[in-house]
Amino acid sequence: MTTRERTWSIAELAAEFEVTHRTLRHYEELGLIAPERRGTTRVFSKRDRTRLALILRGRRLGFPLEEIRRIVDMYDDQPGRVGQLRYLLGQISDRRADLEARRRDIEDSLAELAELERRCETDLATLRGNRAVPARSQDTPSRTSV
């Protein structure tokens, strides 16, 4: 007899991932997850958990749910024929380009944050030394970050 796989209720999954029931149902409506049913009640499998983790990471990165679905589905597509595989490889390359652009944005932001921090530290040191803080140019946020 096959080892009974662990399952989760909607409440358990919601608590674990810190989302609401509504969110999980919403994701089901959009086809992002497809929990089984025991009667009318949703039963979440390990697979659903995995997908949910992916979905939430996509969400943290600011992707729209529609796009997230396409991406998550990439991993489940049984790569039947060569055409499918080629298509998948194309998708992968697209997504990689996107992610790398985001990473550049983040790196830039972090660099500028560091720069701003450095300036703050020196200003602070100057103030501690009771010397006047040099007024910095206001019209050009010399190098900023987001």
Partner DNA sequence: GACGCACTTGACGTCGACGTAAACGTAAAG
Partner DNA sequence: CTTTACGTTTACGTCGACGTCAAGTGCGTC
Binding site for DNA (CB under 7 A): 9-12, 20-23, 25-26, 30, 39-42, 59, 64-66
Query: At 36, which helix (H) or strand (E)?
Result: strand 36-38
- Whole-angstrom distance, CA of residue 15 vs CA of residue 20: 8
- Smallest gap from Cβ 105 to a copy of itself, in A, equals 5
Residue 11 interacts, among DNA, a copy of itself, none and using kind-specific CB cut-offs from 5 to 8 Å, with DNA
Between 11 and 106, CB nearer to a copy of itself? 106
Which residues within the stretch 52-91 sit at the binding site for a copy of itself (CB under 8 A)?
54-55, 57-58, 60-63, 68, 71-72, 74-76, 78-82, 85-86, 88-89
- Whole-angstrom distance, CA of residue 2 vs CA of residue 59: 35
Residue 70 interacts, among DNA, a copy of itself, none and using kind-specific CB cut-offs from 5 to 8 Å, with none
SS3 44: strand
- Smallest gap from Cβ 64 to DNA, in A, equals 3
Burial tier of 46 (Cβ tally within 10 Å: 0-12, 13-18, 19+):
exposed
Between 65 and 116, CB nearer to DNA? 65
Tell me 8's DSSP state: B
- Whole-angstrom distance, CA of residue 139 vs CA of residue 123: 19
